[in-house]
Amino acid sequence: MKAKTRETLVAWGMVIPALLVISIIAFLPLFQTFYNSFFETGLRPDIEKEFVGFGNYVELFKDDRFQDALKNTIFFTVVSVILETIFGLLIAILVNQPFKMRGVVRAAMLIPWAIPTAISSQMWKWMFDPSSGILTKFLETLNIVEPGVPILAMPNSAMWAIIAVDVWKTTPFMALLILAGLQLIPEELYEAARIDGANIWQRFSKITLPMVQSTIGVALIFRTLDALRVFDVVFIMTRGSVNTETLAVYNRVLLMDRAFSGAWFGYGSALSVVIFMLISVFAVIYIRSLRIKLE
């Protein structure tokens, strides 16, 4: 056998375990989800499986709860991603300045990211506790919320509380990613601009922004596709009540809670497909932005 052919065989042998696992655990169930979305079916053995074509999809788009979940998901995604990007950029610029204890601050920024979302959601839920939560007291003192109003049980404030947790967790991380881009900007550019008399705003808009544009763009797409599938924080803070239910939370209700009592599994699968399609758009842009050329 030629050496090259042998090497190719070895190479395929080495990628096969990885491909096998992701095929069984990711691609096979994805395929089945697509397939099941065309049937009326449940998870109890006695529920008959019946082909309904695109029936589930038609029903889904008439479903008020789906429409609300879609609105909530889009609202959550747009607001949190915008806030995370703006604060992320500001914090990145801040920790790029020379000052004492800069290392400590950069290290502290990893803490929100490292704490499991399920746990940080509970920490925040405690801070939002209606009677003894520290944040509730703080917001009451600032007259932002009325005393005695439970923040997580009110339709107007609950979603903002959830967004606050997400922004808290993700902004520092976003900042560290943008910081990596900032550090690539040569200091001479700023000096030259200063000598030419450019002010802070001009230096920011003419040098910093264009230089980190692509870093921000990629981080933004990645955060968007992550936010569109949000589950943990919503589920733990409100269980999807008071107008905070997102697509993923509703989908789990259909697939796991309702599918055992009625023929909801196919309907739930249709929603799974819709979420998949929605996120695919951003995933494709993201993967293309990585410009993978390995050959």
Partner 1 sequence: MSVKTKRIIYKTVLTISVIFVLLWCIFPFYWAVVSSLKPNSELFDPNPTLWPKSPTFSNYVKVFQERPFHVNIWNSVVVSGITTIVTLIFGSFAGYAIARLHMKGKSFVMILILAVSMFPQISILGSLFVILRNMRLINTYLGLILPYVAITLPLTTWILQNFFRDLPKEIEEAAAIDGCSRTRTLFQIVFPMSAPGLVATGLLTFISAWNEFLFAFTFMQKPDYYTVPVAIAMFSGRTQYEQPWGQLMAAAVIVTVPLVVLVLIFQNRIIAGLSAGGVKG
Q: Does 58 bind partner 1 (CB under 8 A)?
A: no
In DSSP terms, which residues pair with 40 in a beta bridge? Answer: 50
Q: Is residue 144 at the binding interface for partner 1, with CB under 8 A as the rule?
A: no
Q: How many residues bind partner 1 (CB under 8 A)?
A: 102
φ, ψ (nearest 5 deg) of residue 145: -120, 150
Which helix (H) or strand (E) segment holds residue 50: the answer is strand 50-51
Bridge partners, residue 39, by sequence: 51
Among 122, 156, 205, 261, binds partner 1 (CB under 8 A): 122
Binding of residue 8 to partner 1 (CB under 8 A): yes
Q: Which of 282, 90, 100, 270 is nearest to 171 (CA)?
A: 90
Nearer to partner 1, 21 or 144 (CB): 21
Q: Is-contact 193 208, C-beta < 8 A?
A: no
CA angle 284–290–295, rounded 5-degree value: 105
Tell whether residue 56 is a contact of partner 1 (CB under 8 A).
no
Q: Where are the alpha helices (DSSP H) in the chain?
A: 3-22, 28-36, 55-62, 64-96, 102-108, 111-114, 117-127, 134-141, 155-182, 187-195, 200-203, 209-228, 232-238, 247-252, 265-289
> Is the CB of 38 or the CB of 222 nearer to partner 1?
222
For residue 260, state whether it binds partner 1 (rule: CB under 8 A): no
Q: Does position 126 bind partner 1 by CB under 8 A?
A: yes
Nearest to 291 by CA among 214, 192, 211: 214
Nearer to partner 1 (CB atom), residue 203 or residue 229: 229
For the CB of residue 37, give the shortest distance to partner 1 in the complex, in Å.
10
281 binds partner 1 (CB under 8 A): no
Residue 27 C-beta: closest distance to partner 1, Å: 8
Q: Which residue among 33, 73, 238, 244 contacts partner 1 (CB under 8 A)?
A: 33
Tell me whether residue 159 or residue 248 sits nearer to partner 1 (CB atom): 248
Q: How far is the CB of 189 from partner 1 (least distance, A)?
A: 20
Q: Determine which residue in the list 89, 219, 227, 234 makes contact with partner 1, applying CB under 8 A.
A: 219
The identity of residue 195, as a single letter, is I
116 binds partner 1 (CB under 8 A): yes
